[in-house]
Amino acid sequence: MIDLGNLNDAQKGAVMATVGPVLIIAGAGAGKTKTITYRIAHLIDTGVKPQNILAITFTNKAASEMRQRALDLLPTNITSKPMIATFHAFCVRILREYAALVGRNKSFTIMDEDDAKGLIKEIVEGFGLEAKQWESRKIKAIISREKNDGRNWQDLKGNVSSNFETTLVNIWERYEAMCLERNTFDFDDLLIETVRMLRENKNVLDTYQNLYTYIHVDEYQDTNKIQYQLIEMLAEKHKNLCVVGDGDQTIYTWRGARIENILRFESDYPNTQVIRLEQNYRSSNNIITAANAVIENNNLRQEKTLHTKNENGENIKLATLTDEKREAEFCVLECIELLDKGVKPADIAILYRANFQSRSFEEMFLRYKVPYKILGTKFYERREVKDVLAYIRASFAPESLHDIKRIINIPARGIGKVTILKLFAGQQNSLPDKMQIKINQFYELLKQVREFASHNHPSETINFILKTTGLEESLKTEGEEGIERLQNIRELASVSTAYNHLDFTEAHQALLEDAALLGDQDDLKDADEGVRLMTIHASKGLEFPYVFIVGLEHGIFPSERDGKSSKEDKEEERRLFYVAITRAKTKVYLTNTEMRMLWGERKISVPSQFIYEIPIDLIEHYQQRNEGSVNTFDELLYD
């Protein structure tokens, strides 16, 4: 028999509640994975066959950890195993088994994002449409959003209200037909096609309802509409559905996550047993007290109050710095102090709201020679940053074929690979007149950029490129990802103001040279044991003894789009702050600035409202150092 002695009362209650619907509201650091794996082992102990147990989560890492921890609790001689997988992996297994019902054979392939966009581009060209207007990335994003809301092209066909929508539906219809012809699915299809197949084939649905009589769903607050439908169908017969989650950690609504799925679980499934895991094993008491005080300001939530038996620990350190350079320097110097005390670099995390904020920290870690590691792409290696720098380089050196190749179709201009090959081979005259016009317009654009750069600062040139090339307009149509890319370009414009003291042409060349130096091969950046830099979204599920939450200013965190935010947006931003605080075990550092260079302009900063939601007796105020501060970009490179 499995030993439940090392579970607390709430965890034990969740493990023992095996019949009917169960909602486990699991606070941060409350041992939810441990609870799920013990529950699976307990079910098997009580006679449930392992093959009748299903546990679904979101990431391969989470599924792998859950699978291993469950197997460690089970006897080694069991003849079958529970199904523990991600949503997508689970659906692939079903589709392999019943491929014929969705028009494929069992050897179907799965397209990645680039494959899917390539197919859409092929269709756009086949329809004779203008590639710039019908950019594959935008079309794919629209199709993906519709699919994750449970809709297909047939649902939209009778509800079109413009020529754009009519053409979009035609592209989507052809896209689905070609996926069938080529025996392939895109990533979104894996869920929507599984749900459609189960809905249309009752005998298959019966098979899976009878097979999986006990179902577990991890991170239920992150489920979207189609995932909700899948679980609802599978659990309909036996109702032995156990979902685990925390509405206070819903931070992915922009990806389609629906907080209402967990908030309405009790009304969806009458007689639900609700169990709250509120004992936090991760953080000090002061951190937990601060987190509770912040999240209680939200209205859209289920009642839950974290507590811990851990010591009070240190107070939260709040530092208000002059500007973003001082902010980065403060964090790096505090990291050095921790490292001198024996703290491992990997035990420290710098968390920011938006990717563009990493730039000043990367430069400061390099200046002080402190190892760091970015989760995600480094600032000067980000695609959109490299694109804009390539525009500047190509404007000064049109013979730079590498740069020309990179940007000639960014944003999309309908200039394909064959055209580029002929252009580079000196065969432009052999191209159709329409294509020659496009190429000439591109080179004329580069000429305009160079003429502008000859009489303006680099920051102004970057903004000129954004507007004149159509890049800004294009990025604004790409949703959250496009806005983030636009922020990164504007941050490049901000840092470029450091060259305003130089001659215009010299300033542009200095920017290009320094970006190459900072974005290239400093060994410190790739150290495995470096201080971690990442967005708060990327930190979900991770924990660190020491956490810095930076940029706590109105408009940055909480973030706003075009100076506006709804009540729901503000609550999600607060949940994001709650997630950030609860990543920390030992100490939290908060930083904000009095002014900040944003989008090429120095602006007065307003402190984030979240700072004032933390009890003042938990705050330790930092007095700004006067020594060691850097004033110029050059110092970062050549100190």
The annotation status of 551 as a binding-site residue, yes or no, is no
User: What is the dihedral angle through the alpha carbons of 572, 577, 582, 586, rounded to the nearest 10 degrees?
Assistant: 180
Choose among 95, 107, 52: nearest CA to 201.
Answer: 95
Distance CA 99, CA 110 (A): 13
Active-site residue, from 35, 229, 249, 302? 249
Residue 242 sits at the vertex; the CA angle it makes with 237 and 243, to the nearest 5 degrees, is 120
CA distances 72 to 12, 433, 606, Å, are 18, 68, 51
The annotation status of 32 as a binding-site residue, yes or no, is yes
Classify the phi-psi angles of 440: left when phi > 0, otherwise alpha if psi is within -120 to 50, otherwise beta.
alpha
The annotation status of 63 as a binding-site residue, yes or no, is no
**Would you call 566 exposed, middle or buried from its count of C-beta atoms within 10 A (0-12, 13-18, 19+)?**
exposed
Residue 578 sits at the vertex; the CA angle it makes with 572 and 583, to the nearest 5 degrees, is 130
H/E element, 24 = strand 22-26
DSSP tag of 523: G
> Residue 598 has what pLDDT?
84
Sheet-wide strand order for 372-374: 372-374, 531-535, 348-352, 544-549, 584-593, 316-321, 619-621
Distance CA 451, CA 398 (A): 13
Domain ranges within the chain, ordered by starting residue: 9-94+192-277, 109-182, 307-378+525-621, 381-519
Residue spans of the chain under pLDDT 50: 520-527, 627, 629-639
Q: Which residue has the tokens 């851990």?
A: 310
How distant is the alpha carbon of residue 532 from its chain centre? 16
> Residue 135 has what pLDDT?
85
Cis peptide leading into 411, omega within 30 of 0?
yes
Examine the residue annotation and report whether 436 is marked as an active-site residue of this protein: no
Q: Decide: 281 and 31 in contact? Cβ < 8 Å.
A: yes
> Residue 115 has what pLDDT?
84
Examine the residue annotation and report whether 583 is marked as an active-site residue of this protein: yes
Choose among 491, 224, 195, 548: nearest CA to 360.
Answer: 491
Choose among 408, 474, 401: nearest CA to 444.
Answer: 408
Cis peptide leading into 558, omega within 30 of 0?
yes
The annotation status of 291 as a binding-site residue, yes or no, is no
Active-site residue, from 304, 490, 583, 596? 583
Active-site residue, from 32, 34, 39, 490? 32
Q: Which residue has the tokens 């013990």?
A: 38
Q: Which residues contact 76 (CB under 8 A, 6 or more apart)?
A: none
Examine the residue annotation and report whether 218 is marked as an active-site residue of this protein: yes
Domain 307-378+525-621 indexed as CATH 3.90.1300.10: no
Q: What are phi and psi of 128, to 5 degrees?
A: 70, 30
Segments in 53-86 forming alpha helices (H): 60-73
Q: Decide: 527 and 372 in contact? Cβ < 8 Å.
A: yes
User: What is the dihedral angle through the alpha carbons of 591, 593, 598, 604, rounded to the nearest 10 degrees?
Assistant: 150
Examine the residue annotation and report whether 222 is marked as an active-site residue of this protein: no
Are 307-378+525-621 and 381-519 equal in CATH topology? no
Residue 139 sits at the vertex; the CA angle it makes with 199 and 119, to the nearest 5 degrees, is 85
Query: In the numeric block, which tokens belong to residue 130?
Result: 């203008």
Choose among 537, 521, 477, 506: nearest CA to 381.
Answer: 521
3-state secondary structure of 14: helix
The annotation status of 29 as a binding-site residue, yes or no, is yes
Choose among 263, 259, 267, 266: nearest CA to 222.
Answer: 259
Distance CA 548, CA 213 (A): 44
The annotation status of 482 as a binding-site residue, yes or no, is no
User: What does the chain come to in residues?
Assistant: 639
How distant is the alpha carbon of residue 16 from its chain centre? 35
Residue type (1 letter), 548:
F
Q: Which fold has domain 9-94+192-277?
A: Rossmann fold (3.40.50)
User: What is the dihedral angle through the alpha carbons of 18, 261, 89, 572, rounded to the nearest 10 degrees?
Assistant: -120
Bridge partners of residue 109, in order along the sequence: 184
> Residue 633 has what pLDDT?
37
> Residue 631 has what pLDDT?
44
Q: Decide: 72 and 232 in contact? Cβ < 8 Å.
A: no
The annotation status of 354 as a binding-site residue, yes or no, is no
Active-site residue, from 176, 186, 218, 324? 218
Q: What are phi and psi of 104, to 5 degrees?
A: -120, 170
Choose among 59, 66, 49: nearest CA to 89.
Answer: 59
Q: Decide: 254 and 480 in contact? Cβ < 8 Å.
A: yes
Q: Which fold has domain 381-519?
A: PCRA; domain 4 (1.10.486)
Q: Which residues contact 193 (CB under 8 A, 6 or more apart)?
A: 91, 95, 102, 185
Q: Decide: 351 and 318 in contact? Cβ < 8 Å.
A: no
The maximal CA–CA distance of the chain, rounded, in angstroms, is 81
Estimate the crossing angle of helix 189-200 against helix 202-211, to 10 degrees.
110
The annotation status of 27 as a binding-site residue, yes or no, is yes
Active-site residue, from 219, 248, 324, 387? 219
CA distances 570 to 329, 356, 538, 555, Å, are 29, 21, 19, 11
**Average per-residue pLDDT for the chain:** 90
Estimate the crossing angle of helix 358-367 against helix 504-518, to 10 degrees.
80
3-state secondary structure of 352: strand
Distance CA 294, CA 238 (A): 39
> For the segment 235-245, what is each residue's pLDDT rounded down to a tens digit?
999 999 999 99
User: Do β-strands 83-86 and 53-57 pair in parallel, antiparallel, or remain unpaired?
Assistant: parallel
Active-site residue, from 33, 167, 428, 468? 33
Q: Which residue has the tokens 């007149």?
A: 433
Residue type (1 letter), 427:
Q
Distance CA 575, CA 593 (A): 22
- What is the sign of the dihedral through the CA atoms of 415, 417, 423 and 424? positive
CATH (one of 3.40.190.10, 1.10.10.160, 3.55.50.30, 3.30.70.20) for 109-182: 1.10.10.160
Q: How many CB atoms lie within 10 A of CB 345?
A: 18
Q: Decide: 320 and 596 in contact? Cβ < 8 Å.
A: no
Cis peptide leading into 545, omega within 30 of 0?
no
> Residue 156 has what pLDDT?
81
